[in-house]
Homo-oligomer: A and B are copies of this chain.
Amino acid sequence: MEINVLKKILSANDAVAEVTRNLFSNKKVFAVNLMGSPGSGKTAIIETTIKLLKGRYRIGVIEGDIFSSMDAERISILKVPVVQINTGPFGGDCHLEAGWVKDAALSLNLKEIDILFIENVGNLVCPAEFDTGAHTNVVILSLPEGEDKPIKYPLMFRTCEVMLLNKMDLRNVLKMDIDKLQQNANQINPSLTSFRVSATDGEGFAMWTEWLRSRYESFLESLELSSKTSK
């Protein structure tokens, strides 16, 4: 009974996710959904990425949190358009759904955005089950979380195109096996692209922003191709 209802909710969300993705594509907005545990560094990664890309691309941000607008306030200091979704302070939802992302996106001027970052609720489980309507999914895993996480939370690592391994600046302090972590991630998803980064000191961001540039250009090419085919 509960399972049927959950399936119904999920497939309704899938339908809205397609509408949301089409909205983004029509406006030539490349939407990137960032997921990860609380405190993995999602907002810090968005901040550092904005600082590096700001001259080249017009960035926008949708912030998702159960409560508070702390993250949106952090982003707004960087003078990029940002909107905060709150899923509710009393037992609020543990993930973003495509309909909320669409509503939030419609409050932004999408014509003036090239790349839109969607920061999901901090949670390594549920957000992986709900398509937000983004074009790609990125998981942020921070070193202190430990090398076993891809094995324990497999759906998240299967759903994502990229893993950003964050807080590399702590590598010498923590007793952990980064190669083992990488091996665990590849075992769960052999096609996962990984970058080792530190939002604190900027390590690894040249490669990550280069990936974003290249992926954004493929996105624009795919739009041209599909507009030619539909003519």
Report how far A139 CA is from B25 CA in the complex, Å. 42
Known: A124-B123, A125-B121. A89 touches B39 (CB 8 A): no
Partner of A126, one of B65, B126, B152: B126
Interface of A is mostly: loop
Number of interface residues of A (CB under 8 A): 40
Would you call A152 and B37 a contact (CB within 8 A)? no
Residue among A91, A128, A142 with the most chain B CB within 10 A?
Answer: A91
Q: Is A151 an interface residue (CB 8 A)?
A: yes
A64-80 interface with B by 8 A CB criterion: 65-68, 70
Q: Nearest-CB distance from A131 to chain B (Å)?
A: 12
Q: Nearest-CB distance from A147 to chain B (Å)?
A: 10
Q: Is A21 an interface residue (CB 8 A)?
A: no
Q: Nearest-CB distance from A52 to chain B (Å)?
A: 21
Q: Nearest-CB distance from A70 to chain B (Å)?
A: 6
Partner of A145, one of B39, B90, B125, B148: B39
Partner of A2, one of B9, B121, B122, B144: B9
